[in-house]
Amino acid sequence: NGQVLTLETSEQVPSALLALAGLTLNSNDRILSNGLPVAPNISLTTSPITLQLRRAVQLTLTTVDGQQQVRSSAFTVGELLNELSIRLRAGDKTQPNINSAITEGMNITIVQAQTITVNVEGKSVQIQSSARTIGEALAEAGVPLLGLDYSVPAENEPLPADGQIQVEMAPIQPAQI
């Protein structure tokens, strides 16, 4: 909590040092020595010992399986997902992104990608996308709608359950001079 406590002792076990300082180590809290995680009950061999106690915070994690409350002392969203053994696949997204710092009360959402097939002029392109709209998915696939081009479903609609998007390209008209 931003406090600096100094102790003079021959003790070298992190959990015992915290106890001497009047601090309780809670589950999911993390002890760091020189910025690196250390085991609470293993004696440290360096001297002097500088410890940082990182308290776990309450988070809400939303996945396709629903919401769950999590306590973690992870520094980033990516580190939290790693702690929970959650692996992202190509096209999956997190909100906020995986490099975002963890804060108390944070809401983290994982949007899993789905397979989308984009049909354009007799050719099909398959992508993994977690886009919210058809237009976003088409941009990810490298098939932006230009001019009078249109898609079925429309570009502002959500991704279809069947994963199929048809793109109709407007015919190119010769320029009038």
| Tens of pLDDT, residues 10-63 | 899 999 999 999 999 998 999 999 889 999 999 998 888 889 999 999 999 999
Residues 10-20: b if buried by 16+ CB within 10 A, e if exposed: eeebbbebbee
Q: What residue spans of 21-171 are helical by DSSP H?
A: 77-83, 134-140
Antiparallel, parallel or unpaired: β 164-168 and 114-120 = parallel
Q: What is the pTM of this model?
A: 0.71
The length of the chain in residues reads 177
| Percent above pLDDT 90 for the chain | 66
Give the model's confidence band at 140: pLDDT under 50 very low, under 70 low, under 90 confident, else very high. confident
| Predicted local distance difference test score (pLDDT) of residue 65 | 87
Distance separating alpha carbons of residues 138 and 62, to the nearest angstrom: 26
> Is residue 171 over pLDDT 90?
no
The average pLDDT across 57-85 equals: 95
Give the model's confidence band at 175: pLDDT under 50 very low, under 70 low, under 90 confident, else very high. low
The average pLDDT across 127-140 equals: 90
| Predicted local distance difference test score (pLDDT) of residue 174 | 66
DSSP three-state, residue 30: strand
Distance separating alpha carbons of residues 113 and 33, to the nearest angstrom: 38
> Is residue 124 over pLDDT 70?
yes
Which position has the token pair 């102790």? 7
Distance separating alpha carbons of residues 33 and 50, to the nearest angstrom: 6
**Average model confidence (pLDDT) for the chain?**
91
| Predicted local distance difference test score (pLDDT) of residue 177 | 64
The average pLDDT across 3-10 equals: 88
